[in-house]
């Protein structure tokens, strides 16, 4: 395939991934797009396209519908899951037009019928790139809004691109993701990128405040409204006036309060507890939860009307396990900041430690990673954090692999030590607990060089036992 001609300026050329199993068509498309100034990656199957997407994210996917194995529609569905903001254009024969129309309704940017018009193709590509480019271009020139979010993964890049796009509006946003994935951090980033950035950002965990106090915290109260109301109190809605309010763990909000929250969102006004008058508020709402709200709605635990009021735009954060390429980046980022906190000269992780971090399960996601790095940092006495400290923080067993005989030997000795400690060094009692005769038990003690007298309950016996355990 001929190399693309160099553009007249120094700006990076938009990258297009082209998918077609017809070699002649693939070559023709590539040449036409290269002549138009685009960088092209050409592949002959959906599987190859998905593999390329893992290595380098293009600005647009152009695919034939009829492909061997997984077809173009299935490819689009997979692209939609992995990269929701990546535009897709389909090329279709007349027989597959209905499928292409349906795909367009599901999110395909557009489709063109074969034989396609070259001028129309370029125009559609330009339109797709123009719609998807502004947020990306802006984020490249000004990264301050997301400076606290450390990532190089494609999945996070898609989430951030959508977050930056929605930040420009006042639409309510629902953030979904497991605990520890960084929902509050993303909410803060959306606020920073919004026209409300100069106004307050207020976060409240709806699951951490007792139900009896949550209404007062959100909406405020008047003096004398209840026993402890010794003065007027502005709620968090008023505190966030003009800015953004994050309702974290919204799925844990009590049903009775859901009704009142819905009224506030509808009326754009709050009524403090004990007041007969409402106070206007101008607040952008971002909600977050790790719960499945659709399941909660089906169970009658979450109001459907409130759900649709909050869920204008949904952003789903990937787990740390789904963005493993970010683990070394995050770990070293945390280490740099924590080294300053603990006043230590730390240069990084040993290769084995970094490998262990990358391979770990991370059920607690980014929050757990931070805690692991902090523990390792606090205990490290060397510039490179060793594997042992990482394993300790992860609560994983040592990488040492014992032979069966060695493992059995270690178990026997530890078992005997525990029995002697339990029985205060009384061999008869220990043998009875082990369901062995005394002669056999003595033989085992001799084998492991254990002296029953060392386990008598006397001063210093605890230290003796500790020595026996670690001998």
Q: Could you tell me the strand order of the sheet in which 88-92 lies?
A: 39-43, 15-19, 60-64, 88-92, 110-113
pLDDT attached to residue 65? 87
pLDDT attached to residue 1? 39
Q: Which of the listed ranges 48-52, 133-137, 455-459 does the model predict with the highest average pLDDT?
A: 48-52
Give dist(CA 466, CA 194) in Å, integer: 60
Q: Does residue 286 contact residue 187 with C-beta atoms inside 8 Å?
A: yes
Same domain, 172 and 212: yes
249 domain-assigned: yes
Helix (H) or strand (E) holding 62: strand 60-64
Pick from 352, 367, 394: which residue ends a domain? Answer: 394
Q: Does residue 176 contact residue 316 with C-beta atoms inside 8 Å?
A: yes
Give dist(CA 414, CA 410) in Å, integer: 6
- Res. 463: pLDDT tops 50: no
DSSP character at residue 312: S
- Res. 457: pLDDT tops 90: no
Give dist(CA 452, CA 431) in Å, integer: 12
Instruction: Concatenate the DSSP letters of all residues of 208-274 into one string.
Output: TS-HHHHHHHHH-B-TTSSTT--S-B--HHHHTTTSEEEEETGGGS-HHHHHHHHHHHHHTEE--BT
Same domain, 80 and 209: no
- Res. 364: pLDDT tops 60: yes
Give dist(CA 253, CA 383) in Å, integer: 46
**pLDDT tens digits, residue range 32-86?**
999 999 999 999 999 989 888 877 788 899 999 889 888 888 898 888 777 766 8
**pLDDT tens digits, residue range 157-184?**
889 999 999 999 999 999 999 999 999 9
Q: Does residue 316 contact residue 289 with C-beta atoms inside 8 Å?
A: no
Pick from 394, 423, 440: which residue ends a domain? Answer: 394
What is the average per-residue pLDDT within 327-350?
Answer: 89
143 domain-assigned: no
Q: Which is more confidently placed, 416 or 7? A: 416
Quote the domain boundaries for residue 96: 15-137
Q: What is the CATH number of the domain that holds 380?
A: 1.10.8.60
Same domain, 298 and 205: yes
Determine what percent of the chain is predicted with pLDDT higher than 70.
86
Same domain, 332 and 348: yes
Same domain, 342 and 428: no
Domain count, the chain: 4
Give dist(CA 65, CA 22) in Å, integer: 12
Q: Which is more confidently placed, 11 or 212? A: 212
Q: Which is more confidently placed, 241 or 52? A: 241
Q: Does residue 226 contact residue 274 with C-beta atoms inside 8 Å?
A: yes
pLDDT attached to residue 100? 63
pLDDT attached to residue 444? 87
Determine what percent of the chain is predicted with pLDDT higher than 90.
41
Same domain, 129 and 196: no
Nearest to 285 by CA among 304, 299, 266, 301: 266
60 three-class SS: strand
What is the average per-residue pLDDT within 2-10?
Answer: 41
149 domain-assigned: no
- Res. 464: pLDDT tops 50: no
> With a threshold of 0.75, does the pTM exceed it?
no
- Res. 229: pLDDT tops 60: yes
Same domain, 80 and 212: no
């Amino acid at each position: 395939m001929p190399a693309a001609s160099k553009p007249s300026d120094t700006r990076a050329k938009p990258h297009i991934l082209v998918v077609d199993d017809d070699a002649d068509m693939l070559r023709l498309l590539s040449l036409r797009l290269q002549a138009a100034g685009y960088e092209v990656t050409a592949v002959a199957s959906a599987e190859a396209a998905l593999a390329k997407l893992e290595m380098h994210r293009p600005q647009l996917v152009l695919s034939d519908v009829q492909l061997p194995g997984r077809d173009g529609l299935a490819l689009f569905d997979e692209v939609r899951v992995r990269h929701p903001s990546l535009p897709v254009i389909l090329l279709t024969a007349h027989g597959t037009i209905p499928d292409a129309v349906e795909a367009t309704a599901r999110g395909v940017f557009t489709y063109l019928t074969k034989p396609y018009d070259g001028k129309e193709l370029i125009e559609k590509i330009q339109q797709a790139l123009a719609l998807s480019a502004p947020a990306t271009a802006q984020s490249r020139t000004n990264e301050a809004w997301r400076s606290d979010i450390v990532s190089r993964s494609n999945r996070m890049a898609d989430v951030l691109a959508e977050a930056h796009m929605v930040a420009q509006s006042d639409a309510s946003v629902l953030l979904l993701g497991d605990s520890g994935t960084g929902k509050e951090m993303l909410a803060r980033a959306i606020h920073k990128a919004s026209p409300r950035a100069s106004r307050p950002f207020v976060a409240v965990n709806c699951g951490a405040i007792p139900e009896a106090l949550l209404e007062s915290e959100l909406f405020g109260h008047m003096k004398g409204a209840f026993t402890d109301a010794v003065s007027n109190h502005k709620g968090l809605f008023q505190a966030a006036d003009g800015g953004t309010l994050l309702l974290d763990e919204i799925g844990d909000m009590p049903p009775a309060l859901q009704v009142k929250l819905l009224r506030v969102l509808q009326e754009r006004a709050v009524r403090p507890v004990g007041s007969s008058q409402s106070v206007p508020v101008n607040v952008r709402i971002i909600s977050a939860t790790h719960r499945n709200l659709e399941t909660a709605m089906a169970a009658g635990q979450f109001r459907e009307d409130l759900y649709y009021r909050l869920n204008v735009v949904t952003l789903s954060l990937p787990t740390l396990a789904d963005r493993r390429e970010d683990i070394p980046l995050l770990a070293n980022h945390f280490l740099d900041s924590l080294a300053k906190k603990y006043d230590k000269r730390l240069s990084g992780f040993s290769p084995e430690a970094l490998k262990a971090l990358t391979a770990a399960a991370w059920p607690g996601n980014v929050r757990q990673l931070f805690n692991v790095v902090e523990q390792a940092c606090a205990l490290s006495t060397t510039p490179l954090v060793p594997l042992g400290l990482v394993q300790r923080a992860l609560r994983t067993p040592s990488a040492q692999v014992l032979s069966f005989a060695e493992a059995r030997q270690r178990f026997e000795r530890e078992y005997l030590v525990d029995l002697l400690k339990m029985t205060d060094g009384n061999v008869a009692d220990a043998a009875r607990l082990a369901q062995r005769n005394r002669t056999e038990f003595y033989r085992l003690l001799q084998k492991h060089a254990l002296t029953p007298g060392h386990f008598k309950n006397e001063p210093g016996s605890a230290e003796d036992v500790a020595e026996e355990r670690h001998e």
